[in-house]
Amino acid sequence: MSAVAIPAVAGDAKAPVVGPRIRALREAMGLSLRDLAQRSGVSAPMLSQVERGETSPTLALAERIAAGLDLSLSQLLRLDENGHVVVVRRGEGRRRKRGGHTTEELTPPLPGQRADVSRHRLSPGAVTGGPADPPIHEPGSRETTVLLAGTATLVVDGDRHELRAGDSVTFDADLAHHFENNGEEPAELLGVVAAGLRRS
């Protein structure tokens, strides 16, 4: 690891920068101190002290906090950034799986992020959510999804839209919606959600 990372958590003049960054990342993910404490194994009081710049985390502690934010230590310390550029390498996006639905978040949880890009894989018969699920995005959000492979059905506010590979669809993401894979092959989707847009 580059020696550049060590001063950021070793107590020199750069140390206070780490705390506000952790707080901004935590808030960008919608996590409370208690949530991050549970995810990282670092106590909420310690996290609070780090965020306020009252103490500097050790590298081991910083690594646990990074893991709680679904980041690598180098991402937390901005080693993967070149100026205003953040690179998420292939296969290193934040992943989660529920049933036959696998999601990989391709956008890092940066403060002030207004759009998120994610890749989805739906096994045959899988859905991204139940038909009665409430909206999962904030009011005014808009989503554009491209079907990369397979077939899928988008259900928005009760209306069904059949999609084939290469099709794209844009819709108001604050309405109840989900994707279904009723085909015999896995479906691959790429989704972009822009938050808080005003409807025209």
Q: List pLDDT tens digits, range 28-73.
A: 777 899 999 999 999 999 999 999 888 888 888 988 998 898 887 8
Task: Share the mean pLDDT of the chain.
Answer: 80
47 exposure class (CB count in 10 Å sphere: 0-12, 13-18, 19+): buried
Amino acid at 187: A
pLDDT at 118 over 80: yes
pLDDT of residue 83: 55
Taken in order of first residue, the domains within the chain and their CATH numbers are 3-82 (1.10.260.40), 94-194 (2.60.120.10)
pTM for the predicted model, two decimal places? 0.58
Q: Cα(169)–Cα(172) distance, rounded to whole angstroms?
A: 10
Find the range with the poorest average confidence among 81-95, 117-131, 179-193: 81-95
Number of Cβ within a 10 Å radius of residue 43: 12
pLDDT of residue 183: 92
Residue 148 in tokens: 């990369």
For residues 140 and 197, the answer to whether their CB atoms sit within 8 Å is yes
